[in-house]
Amino acid sequence: MFKNRLILCEIVAFFALAVLTSRCDSDKFTGFNYNADKIENTTTITGTITNIFTDQPVARAVIEAQGRNATTSSQGEYQITYVLGDDDLFLRGAPVRISAQNYIVLDTTLIVFPTDNVLNARLEYGAPIIQSGSVVDSITTAQVFDYQGAADIDSVFTIAFYIDDSTRQLFPTHLLMQRTRFVDDLTAEFQGIVPDSLTVGKLSRTSYRILAKDKMEFTDLEIFRF
């Protein structure tokens, strides 16, 4: 009787050891760790952002998705890490926002898959572009271009600097310019007067600035020499 019990214990111990060994081997070969934290199911979104009018890359554009963001390189390229969720499993488009200085914000969607996600986009440049500036006989002339049309240019200023004779302090003064003509559908010419003196002092004949603003509040500022 004692011998039979001993044999039974040995058999039970053998099977317990076999199960334990099998469990360890399965972990070894499958790579599954029962005690490890769950790894997030992540993927990446890549692409290139370009200017819709010139096809040139847009550097420093910001791509936002799922609360994460990435910035484009000088070549307009980016890569953003994305965590797949329930909406993605049901092929619901994920909202993506793309923005860059002086460009109109682009809101779009992308159906995100576990691999091979590419989102290329073309941004619309929104700001006016000051093409030239000059001063002749105290009259400033500026030519301003706007992709949204010359009529979209809201206001143009000459920013001149005046010197207080007593303190030698410089005072920047905004002088409104008037549109004198449309060069074409996208370009207009503006002129303004820069007096030699104002109540704040005499004109500093070193440099002046042209400031253009459009109806969407985009601006451009350029420095010119007298």
| pLDDT on residue 216 | 96
**Bridge partners for 71 per DSSP:** 62
Which pairing describes strands 117-118 and 42-51: parallel, antiparallel, or unpaired? Answer: parallel
- pLDDT-derived band at 29 (thresholds 50, 70, 90) equals very low
Residues 6+ apart with CB under 8 A from 163: 169, 170, 171, 201, 202, 203, 204
Q: What is the pLDDT of residues 14-26, one digit of tens each?
A: 444 444 444 444 4
Residues 6+ apart with CB under 8 A from 24: none
Average pLDDT over residues 97-111: 97
Q: What is the pLDDT of residues 112-131, one digit of tens each?
A: 999 989 999 999 999 999 99
| pLDDT on residue 10 | 53
The amino acid present at 78, given as its one-letter code, is Y
| pLDDT on residue 21 | 46
* pLDDT higher than threshold 80 for residue 34: no
pTM of the model: 0.77
* pLDDT higher than threshold 50 for residue 139: yes
Distance CA 72, CA 75 (A): 7
What the chain holds in terms of domains, given with CATH numbers, is 42-123 (2.60.40.4130), 129-225 (2.60.40)
**Bridge partners for 203 per DSSP:** 162
Distance CA 25, CA 27 (A): 5
Element spanning 88, H or E: helix 86-89
